[in-house]
Amino acid sequence: MRVVITDPNLLPLREELQTLLPDAELDWLPDDLLGSLESADVLVGPVFDQEMADAAPGLRLVQVAGAGTDRITAGTADQVPVANTYHHEDSIAEYIVWALIALRRELPQADAALRTNRWRSPVYDPALPQPQTLADAKVGFLGFGHIGRATWRVLQAFGAQGQAVTASGKADGLSWAGDTSQLPRLLEESNALVVSAPLTEDTRGIIGAAELEQLGADGVLVNVARGPLVQEQPLYDALRNRMIRGAALDVWYSYPSSGDQARPAKAPFGELDNVLLTPHLSGITRQTFRGRIHDIAANITALAEGNELRNLVRS
């Protein structure tokens, strides 16, 4: 079994993956990708386009080392099964809880103020309101898949209230759930919005100025899905004008094409003091990728033995 791996996030676990696949030939980050694909059985990576498909006549599986398959664009006529994997939900849930606490208690502002010797606390400045714990949080989930469910398991320990809007209109264990027609209700009844829905033509730009206004001046937003679910300029305006209290943005509108330098958005979010900016790292932990390589190895082994594949998104 010959496996071409194009995802550099797996490199720290290179030896472990080889141990899980002792009989496979693993070709890591080949310089001549198209040439390497000519004899490949499996591609492990985030991108599969038509040029790659044309170069890989014997390919039997495209295995994405993550959840998102939006960069798998080769036509379905190629009949190459596509599978994904998760294991990021616990790490992302940890990030979401951190972000909700930081935003609702305005901890980044307190940190910045104390660096200039100002004690930004209601104890020293009576004009500041006393912050509330997560027990008072009314968390609305836009999307309630792996990430939403993992986050809700944690938030329940704090006594938070939860509700969701999903494509199916169904979600277990919450106060209520509805389909996307119930988005206005979700925003009206929530003081925190967690965006974790997949990016589709139906969800692109689903949160705009009107929705942010409904979330309100006490509301916070955490986006761990894809940047374009939330309209960029309306989000910036809502934060700048304090239409909402704050946001944590881990996903963006543009990314580096190479290296680690690129503006994440046209709007200058970095100039605002009520937004947490992180470079799409909420799910990037050792635990995430160890889980993923075990899924990848299991699928490659199943393929070699003629058994059923896991997490197929296209077959």
Per-residue pLDDT, 69? 87
Q: Please answer whether residues 137 and 190 qualify as being in contact, where contact means their C-beta atoms are separated by less than 8 angstroms.
A: no
Do residues 170 and 67 share a domain?
A: no
Do residues 96 and 234 share a domain?
A: yes
Query: Cα–Cα–Cα angle for 90, 230, 106, nearest 5°?
Result: 65
Do residues 99 and 190 share a domain?
A: yes
The rounded average pLDDT for each run of 10 residues, N- to C-terminus, in the chain (315 residues) is 96 97 97 97 96 96 91 75 95 98 97 98 97 97 96 97 96 96 98 96 97 98 98 98 98 95 97 97 96 98 96 85
Per-residue pLDDT, 76? 52
Domain extent for 37: 2-87+286-314
Do residues 154 and 294 share a domain?
A: no
Buried/exposed code over 90-127 (b: 16+ C-beta within 10 A; e: otherwise)? bbbbbbbbebbebbbebebbbeebeeeeeebeeeeeee
Do residues 136 and 35 share a domain?
A: no
pTM above 0.85, yes or no: yes
Output the domain CATH number for residue 14: 3.40.50.720
Do residues 136 and 232 share a domain?
A: yes
Total domains in the fold of the chain: 2
Do residues 81 and 215 share a domain?
A: no
Do residues 198 and 62 share a domain?
A: no
Q: What is the pLDDT of residues 27-67, one digit of tens each?
A: 999 999 999 999 999 999 999 999 999 999 999 999 999 98
Per-residue pLDDT, 78? 60
